[in-house]
Amino acid sequence: MSQTVRTRFAPSPTGHLHIGNARTAILNWIIARHAGGQFILRVEDTDQERSTQESEASILKDLQWLGLDWDEGPDTGGNAGPYRQSERMDLYKSHLDQLIESEKVYPCYCTAEELEERRSEQLAKGEATQYNGHCRNLSYVDKQKYEAEGREPAFRFKADTESVTFEDLIRGAVTVPGDQLGDFIIARAGGMPMYNFACVIDDHLMEITQVVRGDDHVSNTPRQILIYQAFGWTPPQFAHIPMILGPDRQRLSKRHGATSVDQYREQGYLSDALVNFLSLLSWSSESGDEILTRERLISEFNFSRLSKSAAVFDTEKLDWMNGMYIRNLDVAELSRLLFPILKDRGYSIDSAKELEPITGLIQEKIERLSDANEKVAVFFKEDVNLNDPEARDVLSLSTSKQVFQSFLDVTDELSELNRETFMPLMKAVQQSSGIKGKELWMPVRVALTGQLHGPDLAGTVEWFGLEKCRKRVTQALEFSK
Ligand code: GLU
């Protein structure tokens, strides 16, 4: 009988959702959806000092914004809950007791200072720095003595093994010699479980079939496998995805720019584009296509196409991709996305609907939603600035004055100026002034917008209306004299 695929994303709520972790979440989601399985969200909040409810809330919000729906999680519940590690303490305790009982784990009374001192000695002698087994075989009397000193033990796992080998779905066979592991702590003094221990208990009880995570965890996996073996459990399959690098091929970090999902949202990236882009940092479609809808990402996923090498985060490519997604939106949808951003910027606009004509004019010209802030400025300015040196050059051409005069003559009789009437109008201006081509169009554009380049002029004119256009051309005529 084939097992239902169950993947999970297990963030520690100690900050915002990092772009690398978002990629891990996206991959796990895709794998589960591809297999018709389940995607589970588990909050790993055993680090009480660094975990906060705000971080958890912001991570959940970002995952939702990315459009990753989970089948089980702290907010949705599920049969394998609770899904917050801080609420699973009794499970860790009972499983720790089992390992103590079967002598796979022993209490360790060494203090941090003692461990540090021993480490320095080992380093000085050029020895490996694993735990030296000091508390492995303490007698009952020794333990009593330490307890009487008020020492509270941590719990160490006996790493008795020649080597651990596992078949990584990305890296192939990975073997780690046992002497590199050393007896490791699985629960702190006071019983708080360490990551490796809680993770194994949870992945097992939540029936996770594939653990897909960043390769910064690859050194944890042999230790986790030993814990599975100690319980007689079959480990899940593992896949460690290579890290994300900045353009300088160093690990992606704050100095490369934005690193968290909320920053990308604020900068105006679309979640569809970000999901597409981040998926392709680890994986490629056999078709070679790069613009892939969620449906295609899910249907075309294949473990064999996961990349073994680290991916470079290429912001230019993300911008390009985001621009493609923006162009694919219908104008009404894009207006809905732009409206709050522009409103926030102080543009006087009352509804997304009202924005639609402008949206249509800038849609081709923005790569990020925030680019609109600058692009729409021209539509809202009361007056144009004709003092830009390039604008002045155009206005001071002798032909420009003629164009403006003709424009005013021809529009004198006009009752309405819109997209449709604009071309015939310009034809008439051409005929009456005898000026055509660049020398006709450039001064009109500069007079109306103060810029040499910009959005489609017919649409722009329609937005301004006849009166404003005539006013601006009159100003430009004055200016050109
Ligand atoms: N809480 C761990 C992290 O955020 C999870 C690692 C794992 O996926 O096992 O790095």
Helix, strand, coil percentages in the chain from 3-state DSSP, rounded to 5: 50, 10, 35
The preferred substitution site among 14, 24, 43, 44 for testing ligand 1, maximizing ligand atoms within 8 Å of CB, is 44
Is 183 within 8 Å of 132 (Cβ atoms)? no
**Three-class DSSP category at 52:** coil
365 noted as active-site residue: no
Which is it for the CA torsion 11, 299, 277, 353, positive or negative? negative
Q: What is the average pLDDT value for the chain, to the nearest integer?
A: 95
**Three-class DSSP category at 236:** coil
Q: Which residues contact ligand 1 via a Cβ below 6 A?
A: 10-12, 44, 199, 213, 217
Q: Is the per-residue pLDDT at 372 higher than 70?
A: yes
Q: Give the model's pLDDT for residue 225.
A: 98
Closest to 274 measured CA to CA, from 32, 28, 68, 11: 68
| pLDDT tens by residue, 420-477 | 999 999 999 999 999 999 999 999 999 999 999 989 999 999 999 999 999 999 999 9
The preferred substitution site among 47, 217, 219, 221 for testing ligand 1, maximizing ligand atoms within 8 Å of CB, is 217
Helices (H), strands (E): how many in the chain? Answer: 21, 11
| pLDDT tens by residue, 261-305 | 999 999 999 999 999 999 999 899 999 999 999 999 999 999 999
Q: Which whole number is the average pLDDT over 230-234?
A: 98
Residues 6+ apart with CB under 8 A from 2: none
The alpha carbon of 224 and the centre of ligand 1 are apart by a number of angstroms equal to 12
Q: What percent of the chain has a predicted confidence (pLDDT) above 90?
A: 88
The alpha carbon of 196 and the centre of ligand 1 are apart by a number of angstroms equal to 9
Q: Is the per-residue pLDDT at 29 higher than 70?
A: yes
Closest to 473 measured CA to CA, from 412, 420, 428, 413: 412
Q: Which whole number is the average pLDDT over 137-162?
A: 95
Identify the residue whose C-alpha is closest to ligand 1 atom 5.
10
Q: Give the model's pLDDT for residue 2.
A: 59
Is 60 within 8 Å of 67 (Cβ atoms)? no
Q: Which whole number is the average pLDDT over 362-383?
A: 94
Q: Give the model's pLDDT for residue 255.
A: 86
Q: Is the per-residue pLDDT at 105 higher than 70?
A: yes
Q: Is the per-residue pLDDT at 1 higher than 60?
A: no
Is 325 within 8 Å of 272 (Cβ atoms)? yes
Judge residue 140's burial from the number of C-beta atoms within 10 Å of its C-beta, 0-12 exposed, 13-18 middle, 19 or more buried.
Answer: exposed
- Selecting among 61, 93, 158, 254, the annotated active-site residue is 254
Q: Give the model's pLDDT for residue 17.
A: 97
| pLDDT tens by residue, 49-98 | 999 999 999 999 999 999 999 999 999 999 999 999 999 999 999 999 99
Domains plus CATH for the chain? Answer: 89-241 (3.40.50.620), 329-376 (1.10.8), 381-480 (1.10.10.350)
